[in-house]
Chain A
Amino acid sequence: MTTIELVPKPATIKRMIDESRDVKSYVLEMNESLTMPALPGQFVEVSVQGYGEATFAVTRKSKGDREFTISVKRIGHLTKMLHRAATGDIVGVRGPYGNSFPVDDWKGKDILVIGGGIGLAPLRPVIDHILLNRKDYGSMEIIFGARTPDDILYKEDLKMWESDKSILLHKTIDVPFEGWNGRVGVVPAVIRDLGVKPDRRVSIVCGPPIMIKFTAAALRELRWPDDRIFTTLEMKMQCGIGQCGRCNIGEKFICKDGPVFSLDQIPEHAL
């Protein structure tokens, strides 16, 4: 029997992690010895039966290809239902879809990771990959911005990265907040403050569309060439396989030709 690509396969919620006030992470295990061999930057379509499906970046893999994690910000219909789910519940999954970050091409290079809020989710597998293959890469610098301290996610990871001598981590929040003694300012401002140079580096950027736009502008000011600024345009996707039509940017489909693009691959109006 041939399978209908649009019909998802079951997976079980093994664990749930409260990341921030409106973000939860779900460790999902594929049922029936199925696998989900996602590469860094790839995404899945996750279903709640009776409520449809939505696109989520795979934000971590564990136990080979059987288990993976998604992070879900409560923002719409389906994400509200996911936030109501419990450990042991079954959801539907299909994928992995899309291209991935060209991590092999980046061997020997220094990496700058720039995440804004939930935008850190699709970038975390790149960080994981580099930490797992540490000697293949040069230095790693991470800039992570959140609106408020309550919006900071992946707190365990941030702690780990902070104590890792091979990583330079900058955390920032958008506006001053009582009890916050760290850096304050939006990500593009932090980039300008730090004066991050392109040198032998590639940068990967993800966050809300407005953040990507102004981060790209800040990097360009610092003379970063477009082919060394990578982003993942996790938007408008539905079918994930280049057929439903809605995620097009010109002739390209984000789901099929992306979601990972370097800035020289997309028109200016895509930002």
Chain B
Amino acid sequence: MNKWHKIKKTDLQKYVSRLAEKWEVWIPRLVDGKWEFGIYDGARDLDLPESIIDVSLKNLFFPKRRAIATFDENSKWSLQPVSPERRPRIILGLHPCDAAGIEYMDKVFLQSEYKDVMYKNERERTILVGMLCNKMGDDCHCTDRGLTPDSTSSMDVAFVNEGEWYFFRSLTDKGKRIMESKYLKETDEGPTKNEWPAGKYSIASPEEFMEMYDDSIWHELSDICLTCGICTYACPTCVCFLVADEKFKGKGERVTVWDSCQLQSYSRMAGGQNTRKTPASRVRNRTLDKFAYSHLRYGRISCTGCGRCIMVCPLKRSFPQLGARLSERIREKEKERTKVPAESKEE
């Protein structure tokens, strides 16, 4: 294990400014009352949120609109792949659930027969400098999803906010590259360990969810969902996309754009046939995908417990609540099944 290095809080901005001379540095910034990542330009005092950042990192690795090729509209065929962005960058201040989201995207785009080279490039040019959380936000429930606010998985460097100091530790060779700094002092001290409470949305196992496909509960659950799809855009692991051509003033681009399984158009085929026409069928697909199909496909469920879907939901009732309600129903059914019939009790 690499040693902890500590840096005075008042020196962090100087350290980041030095990093920004060599790297493109992305940090959380408050924009119109919401935290989102932006490029550090030194114009504002560095301020790092202790818990959830409103907008996920998904867009930095898999942009909502991504040109994959360009063409000249006036030709019959001139489609050429785009060249990848190569500038090295640092993303500083992400949290454990953000790193878990990236870990899941890696499974979809890299641990697959066909690697997405554009995504791979975004990963390779990035050093992930994660900040462990000091508290859990109102909608946070990572502790219900096999994570904790101090998980360091998938980070290159992890740092902890403690008193007047930040404690930094590199976790990968890539991470070591930013540890050489006069502001960072090696130390035998370390941050204190925290105990974390369970969240509010514990759920049943993937196998139990799989048994619920034909249950009537999907109609109940879809009654409290607008199927507007906003949760899928906010979700750090929802990476469904559409491939389309866009044209403007003679220039064309082939793009991938985020799509959402909650929208009716998602499953509509040429000729109008649609296998998921009803809200219930779409809510079922997403719930089971989050909590069961993802596990069967990639060995882990795709909910990181970040709670962003609740934060953006117009009804403030999103998939963690649906998952919890469904799990409650699973337990009810289990009770009914295992209940000893009254007659046999008499004997």
A13 to B266 CA separation, bound complex (whole angstroms) = 31
Q: Smallest Cβ distance from A163 to chain B, in angstroms?
A: 34
Report yes or no: B77 in contact with A49, Cβ–Cβ below 8 A. Answer: yes
Q: Which residue in B213, B254, B256 is a CB contact (below 8 Å) of A267?
A: B213
Report yes or no: A50 in contact with B243, Cβ–Cβ below 8 A. Answer: no
Any A CB within 8 A of the CB of B49: no
Chain A residue nearest to B71 in the complex (CB): A49
Report yes or no: B293 in contact with A243, Cβ–Cβ below 8 A. Answer: no
- From A49, A77, A236, A248, residue with most partner B Cβ within 10 Å: A49
Please report which residues of chain A, range 240-262, place their CB below 8 angstroms from some CB of chain B when the two chains form the complex.
Answer: 241-246, 248, 250-251, 256
Report yes or no: B114 in contact with A4, Cβ–Cβ below 8 A. Answer: no
Taking CB atoms, residues of chain B closer than 8 Å to A4 are: 68-69, 81-82, 116-118
Any B CB within 8 A of the CB of A25: no
Stretch at the interface among A51-59, A125-133, A185-193, A222-230: A51-59
Report yes or no: B213 in contact with A242, Cβ–Cβ below 8 A. Answer: no
A91 to B71 CA separation, bound complex (whole angstroms) = 13
Q: Which residue in B213, B242, B292 is a CB contact (below 8 Å) of A244?
A: B242
A50 to B74 CA separation, bound complex (whole angstroms) = 10
The tally of residues in B whose CB lies under 8 Å from a CB in A reads 50
A243 to B294 CA separation, bound complex (whole angstroms) = 12
A122 to B320 CA separation, bound complex (whole angstroms) = 42
Report yes or no: B292 in contact with A50, Cβ–Cβ below 8 A. Answer: no
Secondary structure of the A contact surface, majority rule: loop
A248 to B270 CA separation, bound complex (whole angstroms) = 17
Any A CB within 8 A of the CB of B273: yes
Report yes or no: B270 in contact with A77, Cβ–Cβ below 8 A. Answer: yes
Report yes or no: A6 in contact with B245, Cβ–Cβ below 8 A. Answer: no
Report yes or no: A5 in contact with B243, Cβ–Cβ below 8 A. Answer: no
Any B CB within 8 A of the CB of A119: no
Taking CB atoms, residues of chain B closer than 8 Å to A7 are: 68-69, 79, 81, 254
Report yes or no: A243 in contact with B270, Cβ–Cβ below 8 A. Answer: no
Report yes or no: A92 in contact with B117, Cβ–Cβ below 8 A. Answer: no
Q: Smallest Cβ distance from A67 to chain B, in angstroms?
A: 18
Any A CB within 8 A of the CB of B31: no
Report yes or no: A209 in contact with B273, Cβ–Cβ below 8 A. Answer: yes
Chain A residue nearest to B66 in the complex (CB): A6
Report yes or no: B266 in contact with A246, Cβ–Cβ below 8 A. Answer: yes
Any B CB within 8 A of the CB of A238: yes
Any A CB within 8 A of the CB of B46: no
Any B CB within 8 A of the CB of A176: no
Taking CB atoms, residues of chain A closer than 8 Å to B71 are: 49-50
Any B CB within 8 A of the CB of A138: no
Q: What string of 1s and 0s marks CB contacts (under 8 Å) between B117-151 and chain A?
A: 11000000000000000000000000000000000
Taking CB atoms, residues of chain B closer than 8 Å to A248 are: 285, 289, 293
Chain B residue nearest to A239 in the complex (CB): B243
Any A CB within 8 A of the CB of B271: yes
Report yes or no: A251 in contact with B296, Cβ–Cβ below 8 A. Answer: yes
Report yes or no: A49 in contact with B76, Cβ–Cβ below 8 A. Answer: yes
Any B CB within 8 A of the CB of A269: yes
- From B76, B240, B242, B247, residue with most partner A Cβ within 10 Å: B76
Report yes or no: A8 in contact with B116, Cβ–Cβ below 8 A. Answer: no
Any A CB within 8 A of the CB of B331: no
Any A CB within 8 A of the CB of B316: no
Any B CB within 8 A of the CB of A181: no
Taking CB atoms, residues of chain B closer than 8 Å to A269 are: 213
Taking CB atoms, residues of chain A closer than 8 Å to B222 are: none
Q: Smallest Cβ distance from A144 to chain B, in angstroms?
A: 21
Report yes or no: A5 in contact with B270, Cβ–Cβ below 8 A. Answer: no
Any B CB within 8 A of the CB of A78: yes
Q: What string of 1s and 0s marks CB contacts (under 8 Å) between A1-22 and chain B?
A: 0111111101000000000000
| Known pairs A4-B69, A246-B259; A235 contacts B293 (CB<8 A) | no
Taking CB atoms, residues of chain A closer than 8 Å to B81 are: 3-4, 7
Stretch at the interface among B37-45, B105-113, B176-184: B105-113
Report yes or no: B292 in contact with A251, Cβ–Cβ below 8 A. Answer: yes
Q: Which residue in B210, B271, B288 is a CB contact (below 8 Å) of A75?
A: B271
A56 to B266 CA separation, bound complex (whole angstroms) = 19
A54 to B244 CA separation, bound complex (whole angstroms) = 10
Chain B residue nearest to A210 in the complex (CB): B273
A235 to B270 CA separation, bound complex (whole angstroms) = 10
- From A47, A53, A209, residue with most partner B Cβ within 10 Å: A47
Report yes or no: A246 in contact with B245, Cβ–Cβ below 8 A. Answer: no
Any B CB within 8 A of the CB of A120: no
A5 to B119 CA separation, bound complex (whole angstroms) = 12
A243 to B112 CA separation, bound complex (whole angstroms) = 9
A binding-site residues for B, Cβ under 8 Å: 2-8, 10, 47, 49-54, 75-79, 89-92, 209, 235-236, 238-239, 241-246, 248, 250-251, 256, 267, 269
Can you offer 17 A-B residue contacts whose CB atoms are under 8 A? A3-B117, A5-B116, A6-B116, A8-B79, A10-B79, A49-B75, A49-B79, A49-B245, A50-B247, A52-B243, A92-B79, A236-B269, A238-B242, A241-B114, A245-B239, A246-B240, A246-B266
11 more contacts with CB within 8 A, not counting A4-B82, A49-B75, A245-B240, are A2-B117, A6-B68, A7-B79, A52-B254, A79-B270, A235-B273, A244-B240, A244-B241, A244-B256, A246-B267, A256-B113
